[in-house]
Structure 1
Amino acid sequence: MKNNSTYLGTVQDVSGTTIRVTMVNDSLSGLTYVDGEGYKIGQIGSFVKIPIGYNYLFGIITQIGASAVPENQVTIQPYGNRWMTIQLVGEGQKTGEFQRGISQYPTINDEVHLVSEQDLKQIYGQPDKPYFVNVGHIAGAESIPALIDVNKLITRHSAVVGTTGSGKSTTVASLLNALSDSDKYPSSRILVFDIHGEYGKALNDRAHIFKVNADKSEGSTEKELFIPFWALNFEELIDISFGKFNNEKDQNVILERILQEKLKSITNYPKAGIEIDSLNVDSPIPFSLNHLWYDLYTQTLGKFYPDKDDNPLAYEIDAEGIEIIGNPITATPPIFKKINTNMQIPVILTTQFQFKVTT
């Protein structure tokens, strides 16, 4: 039975999720009242509902007027302005929650009704659920909050788009402010790459701000940004540590050594979520660059006693008779004996590989 206050018209054409509706004559006044609230009829972007048994199909008005008339009806419709084009977006039981997607479709002469504020609460109103955050109110009803599902927001690719000045930065700041609420989400951790410095002031009371050339004046909370070398990928680390190699063989040697150091690190100090099987040279695993340098220096420039098994490295001796083995922590290189072919036990130079090492 028709509810005259919400009744808009009937379905006359169905093409997938796109339907066309003829409006009743008395709906052309442009305004109707439901439960004391005024609603504009046929406004682009507004919701409509189609009762199908115990369910409602929900759609959004995308076109209205003469251009919404089906092509095969243009010549025989004297009142072309009485048509609407609607895009179906979801469905729900009359007493249940709204769900996206369509499992059934309307038929010819099914009634189309205006969606009231009470119906919009069925679609949007879920304020009691802790995994929804409030980012404002919906355009069709200021009393209904616009909520975003946190689980879907952070587990999928999301984007906030709009024209200049439409409020993108404000919306993102609101999201960050809501998600960083330590009472609601005590385990939340958010990393923001604020290239243009838009969010520092808005989140200053709950964020740690790291910046290159940070403001160190009195009262500033900015901290200097330091990136650990082990967080760089292989090419970046090579560029700043070794420079260009003369051949690919030397580069592969360094790659294997870095991988060995990271494997040693993760074996001695396991980290949750990191498996040895998935480890590669670009994995951000801490390791000692000093020890890597020391080992490479030793194997590149070291002198060896060929007939000495326990400690074949031929170190120079200091004034106290102690071998000058250097120190990787302080980046102090070892000093090796000079080659002397007149010695009974000659000292020879290793020839495993040669490349330039800079410190």
Structure 2
Amino acid sequence: MRHDPTFIGTVRDVHGATITVELSNDTVTGLGFVHGKGYRIGQVGSFVRIPLGFVDLYGVVSQVGAGAAPARDQERQAYGNRWVTVQMVGEGQRGGRFERGISQHPTIEDRVHIVIEADLRAIYGSGDPQDFVSVGHLASAESIPSLVNINKLVTRHSAVVGTTGSGKSTTVAGLLNALSDPEQYPSARIIVFDIHGEYSKALVDRAAVFRVAADETRGQQALHVPFWALSFEELSALAFGTLDDGNGAKTAAVADALVQLKKDALKSQPREGIEESQVTADTPIPFCIHKLWFDLHQREHQTVMAKPGEAQDELVPAYALGADGQPMQLGDAMSVTPPAYRTVKSSGPKTEQIHWSQSPPPLALRQQLAGLASKLRDPRLAFLFNPGDWRPDIDGKTGKDLDKLLEDWIGGPKPITILDLSGIPAPILNELIGALLRVLYDAIFWARNLPEGGRERPLLMVLEEAHAYLSKENSGAAAAAVRRIAKEGRKYGVGMMIVSQRPSEIDSTILSQCGTIFAMRLANDTDRGHVTSAASDSLKGLFEMLPVLRTGEAIIVGEAVSLPVRTLIAPPPLDRRPDSIDPRVVERGDLTEGFQGLGGWNQHCDSSDYSVMVRQWRKQSPHYDHIKPTANDNEE
């Protein structure tokens, strides 16, 4: 029989999806040549093919050497430790389509071959070209693109994990560039939750950027999150903190007051699709939170006295009086100015006595109301409590409704929306992300059968630095929203891409829902174990390569790829990389654009202008606008 140059050995043991192969005496481990091209033989992560009639079975080498030998043969080393362990992953008809999973198993003495470039092209190029997007090329064959199934990548969820410096952010930028190609996917819809403001530069030509401290000269738009779009639980956590008093009386009273304000606002400005009788504390109807604070403040602080010249059972507010006998401060809801009341006085004539108001009775909410007043005045939270055109007036009327907000975020002309959350105060970040996810998901869920819904036009949510708010110990709003999307999102066209440098800190329930994993360099054993257990393919040997992957290289496993594949992700151009590149300690060249001088510890620094540093700190913006600060800048 004519020698087949692809033949490497025969099957000696079959255990489920794991087989053991004994290499042929003629097989030389290392580099072999087939049809003039070199292939690595017996390398972990390489592919093998087992012909069975008209079907070819495919597997991935997970272990090589003595450890791969069957137990009964460990003492027999007639030809050295020439054993290979292979994990079976799929099969394909000769000249036909490759499919994951196997319908039959190999048997003893079946011949095993290396997979050559022609086989790889058949595997990775199978299927409808419109269903696949190229994200780079195979690490073992630069001429073969690495294709992922965009349908399964988006709707079945995915995760990009890798240690700091592994090229994770650049990989995400490269993936988003591929998924938002205007020629191939003109109606792509992607929203990025950017915790550190890294992606604006990388996606500048195809992304709309929303930021709290927006820089309009750079094309950024102001980020507004209307508080009245949140559920009662979300708003309560952000506005009041803890309301629970054991019996729920405070929560119920605040909810009742909120519902009444929403009903009053609905009378002033009717909204299509909702009647007054249908309004609940969670209904996204505008209401004036300043009026809610003012009414509750009066309930807690108001003192009363008998109305002068009238019957003593008629009580009026006991405002503090000035020298002219007029009330000193009646208070104003919109400016968060509380009214000033006279102190309680139980002695003297009844017409001069001052009592606490008992109608309605106080709720012991003084501490929470003081906190809410502080938040309503805080300019850092203006995006939430004073949201521009979405800010209700005292009657609950707004200039814009949620349809315009959703259109800006997921219906604009650009395929990607970046919500730059770098200016959000850290204490509320978790609750805010949870609220944003819930708002978007609810909108998509109820519009699932409309052209704007997820079934007609799926939405991909990219969650950067996910370990910061999806940890196992975290039971906040963000984790709850992500769990819901992970379990239900596929049916309604909402997918997630979780990005993290510490996968071990992410709730395993969430990570296990990711159908596709892009695993980059991970040196930590705990992180690798977490990824291995979450992956849909049992390929322990393949994941053992994670500590030695190159920067920008990933092992892709899961539903979106035909076979687990080691890929070099195509990065964006140098001037379009995320703003997350490691600074150089020793380097020649200019500092960050806009500054004069040479960077690095090995260069001389003649002068420094720290007033510019303070100016940018106060502006809460990393972008230097080339304008020399004035004396006024130092006083702002």
In 2: Cα distance, 1:295 partner to 1:213 partner: 28
Q: Is the 8 A contact 1:74 1:80 kept in 2?
A: no
Query: 1:55: which partner in 2?
Result: 55
Question: CA 1:269–1:183 in structure 2 vs 1: closer, same or farther (change >3 Å)?
Answer: farther
Equivalent runs, 1:92-111 vs 2, <5 Å? 92-111=92-111
In 1: Cα distance, 2:40 partner to 2:241 partner: 68
Query: 2:227: which partner in 1?
Result: 229
In 1: Cα distance, 2:196 partner to 2:184 partner: 29
In 2: Cα distance, 1:244 partner to 1:48 partner: 59
Q: Summarize deviations over 1:222-271 as a string: whole Å, max 9, x none.
A: 33323211244435534665677695424202224545666896x94239
TM-score (norm 2): 0.44
Please report how far the alpha carbon of residue 141 of structure 1 lies from its aligned counterpart in structure 2 after TM superposition.
1.5
TM-score (norm 1): 0.73
Q: Is the 8 A contact 1:60 1:89 kept in 2?
A: yes
1:270 and 2:273 correspond: yes
Question: CA 1:20–1:206 in structure 2 vs 1: closer, same or farther (change >3 Å)?
Answer: same
Query: 2:20: which partner in 1?
Result: 20
In 2: Cα distance, 1:246 partner to 1:119 partner: 63
Q: Is the 8 A contact 1:135 1:171 kept in 2?
A: no
Q: Which runs of 5+ in 1 are unaligned?
A: 304-313, 315-326, 334-348
Query: 2:151: which partner in 1?
Result: 151
Q: Summarize deviations over 1:299-322 as a string: whole Å, max 9, x none.
A: 969x9xxxxxxxxxx9xxxxxxxx
SS of match in other structure, 2:103 = coil
Matched residues, percent identical?
Answer: 49
In 2: Cα distance, 1:35 partner to 1:181 partner: 36
Stretch moving more, 285-294 or 37-46: 285-294
Query: 2:221 corresponds to which letter in structure 1?
Result: K
Query: 2:287: which partner in 1?
Result: 288
In 1: Cα distance, 2:242 partner to 2:167 partner: 47
Q: Is the 8 A contact 1:43 1:61 kept in 2?
A: yes
Query: 1:159 corresponds to which letter in structure 2?
Result: A
In 2: Cα distance, 1:58 partner to 1:36 partner: 23
Query: 1:78: which partner in 2?
Result: 78
Query: 1:75 corresponds to which letter in structure 2?
Result: E
1:177 and 2:139 correspond: no
Please report how far the alpha carbon of residue 131 of structure 1 lies from its aligned counterpart in structure 2 after TM superposition.
2.8
Question: CA 1:35–1:292 in structure 2 vs 1: closer, same or farther (change >3 Å)?
Answer: farther
Q: Summarize deviations over 1:175-220 as a string: whole Å, max 9, x none.
A: 111222333323322111111222110101121222233345xx42
Stretch moving more, 248-257 or 131-140: 248-257
Question: CA 1:77–1:246 in structure 2 vs 1: closer, same or farther (change >3 Å)?
Answer: closer
1:206 and 2:214 correspond: no
SS of match in other structure, 1:78 = coil
SS of match in other structure, 1:254 = helix
Query: 1:161: which partner in 2?
Result: 161
Q: Summarize deviations over 1:5-34 as a string: whole Å, max 9, x none.
A: 111111000111111111111112533332
In 2: Cα distance, 1:280 partner to 1:183 partner: 44
SS of match in other structure, 2:90 = strand
- Bigger Rg over Cα: 1
Please report how far the alpha carbon of residue 90 of structure 1 lies from its aligned counterpart in structure 2 after TM superposition.
0.9
Q: Is the 8 A contact 2:66 2:81 kept in 1?
A: yes
2:218 to 193, 217, 220: 220
Stretch moving more, 50-59 or 61-70: 61-70
In 2: Cα distance, 1:240 partner to 1:10 partner: 64
SS of match in other structure, 2:9 = strand
Stretch moving more, 57-66 or 349-358: 349-358
Q: Is the 8 A contact 1:97 1:123 kept in 2?
A: yes
Residue-pair matches, total: 318
SS of match in other structure, 1:112 = strand
2:359 to 346, 351, 357: 351
In 2: Cα distance, 1:2 partner to 1:57 partner: 22
Q: Is the 8 A contact 2:229 2:286 kept in 1?
A: no
Q: Is the 8 A contact 2:98 2:126 kept in 1?
A: no
Please report how far the alpha carbon of residue 118 of structure 1 lies from its aligned counterpart in structure 2 after TM superposition.
0.9
SS of match in other structure, 2:22 = strand
Q: Which runs of 5+ in 2 are unaligned?
A: 305-315, 317-331, 339-356, 377-636
Q: Summarize deviations over 1:45-71 as a string: whole Å, max 9, x none.
A: 110010112111100111122222111
Question: CA 1:291–1:224 in structure 2 vs 1: closer, same or farther (change >3 Å)?
Answer: closer
Please report how far the alpha carbon of residue 354 of structure 1 lies from its aligned counterpart in structure 2 after TM superposition.
4.1
SS of match in other structure, 1:130 = helix
Query: 1:336: which partner in 2?
Result: none
Q: Is the 8 A contact 2:25 2:79 kept in 1?
A: no
Question: CA 1:252–1:113 in structure 2 vs 1: closer, same or farther (change >3 Å)?
Answer: same
In 2: Cα distance, 1:100 partner to 1:252 partner: 54
Question: CA 1:182–1:280 in structure 2 vs 1: closer, same or farther (change >3 Å)?
Answer: farther
Query: What is the aligned-residue RMSD (CA, Å)?
Result: 4.0
Which structure is higher in RCO with an 8 Å CA cutoff and minimum separation 6? 2
In 1: Cα distance, 2:238 partner to 2:20 partner: 64
Question: CA 1:159–1:210 in structure 2 vs 1: closer, same or farther (change >3 Å)?
Answer: same
Q: Is the 8 A contact 2:257 2:292 kept in 1?
A: no
